[in-house]
């Protein structure tokens, strides 16, 4: 069993370093199915919607209970979804299209990395993300 622990300052700085990658043109793709094995793996599933992050994607990370926390600034809705389907995962990408963060999606309260009141999308729908909080544990 590892006794490796990170300091509060280390996890705050690490989270800030991650979120800054999404500044100036970062966006979130909402896709069908399970996420790829890693961020370096090619996209999977059908692209349903793309929501743009603010120019400064996240506020500064802060100290939470045993974790660093960063809250996304406003996220623009996709006012016309690209395809029909059920949201299964998201990929947050840089302005250049490199995946920085990915995770699964679920209905609110069911534990997904990003949660929605509905997962069903129809072509032309307005698709929005009301908020997004990232955490990195200290231990």
The per-residue pLDDT for range 100-118, each reduced to its tens digit, is: 999 999 999 999 999 999 9
Look at residue 138 in the predicted model and tell me its pLDDT.
Answer: 86
Determine, yes or no, domain membership for 1.
Answer: no
Determine, yes or no, domain membership for 41.
Answer: yes
Determine, yes or no, domain membership for 54.
Answer: yes
Rounded distance between C-alpha atoms, residue 103 and residue 133, angstroms: 13
Please choose, from the candidates 15, 112, 27, 121, the residue with its C-alpha nearest in 3D space to the C-alpha of residue 71.
Answer: 15
Mention every residue, 6+ apart, whose C-beta is less than 8 A from residue 4.
none
Determine, yes or no, domain membership for 2.
Answer: no
Q: How far is CA 62 from the centre of its chain?
A: 18
Does the pLDDT of residue 5 top 90, yes or no?
A: no
pTM (2 d.p.): 0.94
Q: What is the mean pLDDT of residues 78-104?
A: 98
Determine, yes or no, domain membership for 45.
Answer: yes
Look at residue 59 in the predicted model and tell me its pLDDT.
Answer: 97
pLDDT in tens, 29-51: 999 999 999 999 999 999 999 99
Please choose, from the candidates 132, 129, 130, 127, the residue with its C-alpha nearest in 3D space to the C-alpha of residue 49.
Answer: 127
Look at residue 97 in the predicted model and tell me its pLDDT.
Answer: 98
Contact 103, 112 (CB under 8 A): yes
Determine, yes or no, domain membership for 3.
Answer: no
Q: What total number of domains does the chain contain?
A: 1
Look at residue 65 in the predicted model and tell me its pLDDT.
Answer: 87
Which residues span the domain enclosing 111?
Answer: 8-137
Look at residue 95 in the predicted model and tell me its pLDDT.
Answer: 97
């Amino acid at each position: 069993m590892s006794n490796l622990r990170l300091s509060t300052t280390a996890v705050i700085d690490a989270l800030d370093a991650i979120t800054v990658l999404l500044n100036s043109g970062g966006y979130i793709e909402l896709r069908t199915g399970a996420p790829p094995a890693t961020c370096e793996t090619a996209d999977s599933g059908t692209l349903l919607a793309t929501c743009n992050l603010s120019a400064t994607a996240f506020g500064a990370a802060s100290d939470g209970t045993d974790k660093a926390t960063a809250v996304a600034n406003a996220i623009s809705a996709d006012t016309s979804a690209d395809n029909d389907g059920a949201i299964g995962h998201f990929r947050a990408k840089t302005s250049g299209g490199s995946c920085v963060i990915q995770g699964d999606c679920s209905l609110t309260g069911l534990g997904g990395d990003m949660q929605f009141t509905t997962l069903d999308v129809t072509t032309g729908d307005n698709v929005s993300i009301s908020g997004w909080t990232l955490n990195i544990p200290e231990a």
